[in-house]
Amino acid sequence: MEDHYFHSVTLDASLCKGCTVCIKGCPTEAIRVQKGRAWIIPERCIDCGECIRTCPSGAKKAISDPISLLEQFDYCVAIPAPTLYGQFRASVSCNRILTALKSLGFDDVYEVAAAAEILSHETRDFLIQNKGKGTFISSSCPVIVRLVESRFPSLLDQLVPMISPMELSARIVKEREKDRPGKVGVFFISPCAAKVTDVKNPRGITHSSVDGVIGIKDIYKELKLAVSQVEEEEPLNKASALGISWARTDGEGAAVNSENHISVDGIDHVIDVLENLENGHIRDVDFVELMSCPGGCVGGPLAVENPYVARSIVSIREGRHREEESLSYAESFHPPKGVDLLWTEQLESRATHLLDPDYKTAIKMMEEIEIIRKGLPGLDCGSCGAPSCRALAEDIVLGKTSETDCVFKLREKIRDLTREMIQLESRMPPGLDR
């Protein structure tokens, strides 16, 4: 059993300058700066990678698996995310990219885009069967699943209870290779930090069929060289435009083909939509595709190309594939026999901001928080190391810090002390005081 709070997003303390930039952008208020360096509250982090994007010192990093992990397996299969196709100029064919990827030490490749096609059709059927039961939320982005668990648990029932395209790809490969002697390893080629976490601590299933997650950026140099050295392209590309489109915002939404869907990217926009869903403001929408990264998976922290350039390349490839419909996925959009698509585990609320399990104690703590908050300047300057005055008030009541962490409160205290000292200094001993 892996550590309950394993996270791929980590901090390199030697690079952190304690600048507090990261604490402001964290959507779950999971970062604090203390003693000159940032630290991540593990139970709050959802591995969205926002801190990786915003850290000016490059101190936030995503851990992924090294390619040397392949040595531990007898037969290795790469399952590249559709985003990989956005990392190379549109003139480089999908087959060339896949052939080059295979040459890095893999025995075979299976496109996650192909599994995405199967899931598009299954989700479409699911939405038809559940018509009228409210708005369903895509569960393909692992950050969104974790965000709903921690900040919007009332929406847990609205998540589409299906495994991700990455997971389905791994299951398909494992099913196909089940009679192969030796140890079969499946490796996701990922633009996404949260997928590393999702493999170690999956949601909705007990364990992942993926054996390793390799960041695109970590193999990009070798892959680029290999792409230029391909002599004969193998016909490895089976996925059509439908699956490739999942790399960008609205790819999944459009592929699911619901009558009323919305597609949202960027964690702030996603939170806004979830707030609106919880408030009952979003109605007449069957399906929401929520992507944590800007532009969708092409904006993932482990991708290399600019997300907007990558999105454009993906769109060009989609257009080209649509013209060659013969490439359409061979398994007719149905999962192979023996491969299950549904979640088997119930998702639970992970109330990471709960003040205390005892309601009466929590109320008392909140009353204290309100009193402390009203005494703070309300500037949300972040110099105390907390993202807002309210967060500092919470930390004080939770016993994690003190009021003098606020520079304004500290100054107030010093001023009071100075005044008191001056007053004391002016007092003479009673015998001399005439």
User: Which residues are near other proteins by CB under 8 A?
Assistant: 151, 153-154, 156, 275-276, 278-281, 349, 351, 353-357, 359-360, 362-363, 366-367, 370, 394
CB of 194 to other proteins, least distance (A): 22
CB of 303 to other proteins, least distance (A): 32
CB of 353 to other proteins, least distance (A): 5
Structural contact between residues 159 and 130, judged by C-beta atoms closer than 8 angstroms = no
Report the residue number, 249 or 352, with the smaller CB distance to other proteins.
352
**Distant-in-sequence contacts of 388-397, Cβ < 8 A, 24+ apart:** 388/29, 391/29, 393/369, 394/355, 394/369, 395/32, 396/369, 396/372, 397/355, 397/365, 397/368, 397/369, 397/372
- Go through the chain and tell me how many residues it has: 434
Place of tokens 């989700």: 123
Residue type present at position 126: F
CB of 366 to other proteins, least distance (A): 6
Report the residue number, 27 or 335, with the smaller CB distance to other proteins.
27
Alpha-carbon separation of residue 132 from 25, 123, 207, 257 (angstroms): 36, 15, 32, 16
Report the residue number, 7 or 151, with the smaller CB distance to other proteins.
151
CB of 111 to other proteins, least distance (A): 38
Q: Which of 140, 162, 159 minimizes the C-alpha distance to 149?
A: 159
CB of 156 to other proteins, least distance (A): 8
For 232, the token pair is 């004969």
Structural contact between residues 406 and 414, judged by C-beta atoms closer than 8 angstroms = no
CB of 355 to other proteins, least distance (A): 5
Q: How far is CA 174 from the centre of its chain?
A: 25
Q: Please, which residues have CB within 8 angstroms of residue 363's CB and are 6 or more apart in sequence?
A: none
Place of tokens 């299954």: 122
Q: How far is CA 314 from the centre of its chain?
A: 21
- CB neighbour class for 269 (10 Å; exposed up to 12, middle 13-18, buried from 19): middle
Report the residue number, 128 or 362, with the smaller CB distance to other proteins.
362
Report the residue number, 107 or 278, with the smaller CB distance to other proteins.
278
CB of 349 to other proteins, least distance (A): 6
Report the residue number, 146 or 321, with the smaller CB distance to other proteins.
146
CB of 394 to other proteins, least distance (A): 8
For 424, the token pair is 């004391």
- CB neighbour class for 216 (10 Å; exposed up to 12, middle 13-18, buried from 19): buried
Report the residue number, 149 or 305, with the smaller CB distance to other proteins.
149
Report the residue number, 363 or 417, with the smaller CB distance to other proteins.
363
Rounded Cα gap, residues 161 and 139, in angstroms: 7
CB of 126 to other proteins, least distance (A): 22
Report the residue number, 353 or 419, with the smaller CB distance to other proteins.
353
Q: Please, which residues have CB within 8 angstroms of residue 19's CB and are 6 or more apart in sequence?
A: 33, 56, 57
CB of 39 to other proteins, least distance (A): 21
Report the residue number, 32 or 151, with the smaller CB distance to other proteins.
151
Report the residue number, 12 or 370, with the smaller CB distance to other proteins.
370
Give the dihedral of Cα atoms 330, 333, 335, 337; nearest 10 deg.
-60
Pairing of strands 60-62, 9-11: antiparallel
**49-62: burial string, b at 16+ Cβ within 10 Å, e else:** bbbbeebeeebbbb
Place of tokens 């690079």: 15
